[in-house]
């Protein structure tokens, strides 16, 4: 899963992101290159960390001031004054938070006998201006994510780069399922009626003819890709990559 890097890396607070039922807090170091992603829930009283502050590269909970680094490790409990007792409390597995770390940093692997879910380390990647997170947190998540390439390709990754125009991201939330959206995009028979008069969409009084061609076999793993020939001076291509990527 991914989300847009559309926020200031110098901001004093983390950013809350909700994806696929996960509530996450995201922040970066002062250079904007080293991103951190944790579950947006303090291990103490479950307060959202996104409402706290970023201090010294760590996120501080707004409720009791517990502080966590990018590894999900608790680094400070202000209410414990004795340094030894604080160190012991911070080292407890129950004080850790689920972490989705960046692959740009070295990822510490935990012992094979480690079973605490908060110590699982699913990686995170940055590509095409998007922050990509592997949403599983099991012990096998790291190896699974490393074996799964990001299912996206933009013009700068292809020979089309010489004529491709620069692009920018925008975000729009729609109350639609991904399969409903895909069906709408491929169904060009609605275009001359729903988009009457829009250049390239045709006229409802004289609907254009579109020809569909499947570019590759459709599979559960790879999805589908189709080409459409119609009144436009170029072919229109639609692709779907599981689980929910539509282009």
Written as six digits, the tokens of 92 are: 């407890």
Q: What is the pLDDT of residue 119?
A: 39
Consecutive H or E run containing 211: strand 211-214
Q: What is the pLDDT of residue 246?
A: 78
- What's this model's pTM, rounded to 2 decimal places? 0.65
Q: What is the pLDDT of residue 116?
A: 37
Alpha helices in 158-199 (DSSP H): 178-186, 191-194
Listing DSSP states for 83-145 in one string gives: HHHHHHHHHSGGG---B--BTTSPPPPPPTT---GGG----EEEETTEEEE----STTHHHHH
Structural domains of the chain in order of their starting residue, each with its CATH number: 2-147 (2.102.10.10), 172-246 (no CATH)
**139 CB neighbour count, 10 Å cutoff:** 20
| Alpha carbons 44 and 94: distance in angstroms, whole number | 9
pLDDT in tens, 36-88: 889 999 999 999 999 999 988 899 999 999 999 988 899 999 999 999 999 99
Q: What is the pLDDT of residue 111?
A: 32
- pLDDT averages per 10-residue partition of the chain, 247 residues: 61 81 84 80 95 92 94 94 96 90 42 35 60 70 69 55 57 79 84 80 80 86 85 81 76
Q: What is the pLDDT of residue 109?
A: 38
Q: Is 206 helix (H, G, I), strand (E, B) or coil?
A: strand
């Amino acid at each position: 899963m991914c989300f847009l890097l559309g926020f200031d890396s110098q901001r004093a607070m983390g950013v809350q992101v909700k994806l696929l039922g996960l509530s996450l807090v995201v922040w970066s170091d002062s250079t904007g290159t080293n991103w951190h992603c944790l579950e947006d829930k303090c291990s103490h009283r479950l307060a959202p960390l996104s409402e706290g502050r970023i201090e010294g590269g760590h996120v501080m909970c707004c409720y009791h001031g517990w502080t966590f680094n990018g590894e999900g490790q608790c680094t400070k409990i202000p209410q414990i004054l004795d340094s030894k007792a604080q160190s012991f409390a911070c080292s407890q597995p129950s004080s850790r938070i689920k972490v989705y770390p960046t692959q740009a940093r070295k990822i510490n692997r935990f012992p094979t006998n480690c079973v605490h879910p908060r110590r699982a380390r699913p990686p995170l990647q940055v590509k095409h201006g998007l922050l990509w997170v592997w949403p599983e947190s099991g012990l096998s998540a790291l190896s699974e994510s490393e074996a799964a390439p990001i299912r996206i390709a933009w013009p700068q990754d292809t020979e089309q780069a010489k004529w491709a125009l620069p692009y920018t991201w925008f975000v729009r939330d729609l109350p639609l399922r991904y399969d409903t959206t895909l069906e709408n995009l491929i169904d060009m028979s609605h275009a001359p009626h729903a988009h009457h008069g829009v250049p390239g969409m045709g006229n409802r009084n004289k609907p254009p003819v579109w020809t569909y061609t499947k570019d590759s076999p459709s599979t559960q793993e790879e999805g589908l890709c189709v080409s459409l020939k119609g009144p436009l001076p170029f072919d229109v291509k639609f692709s779907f990559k599981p689980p929910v990527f539509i282009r």
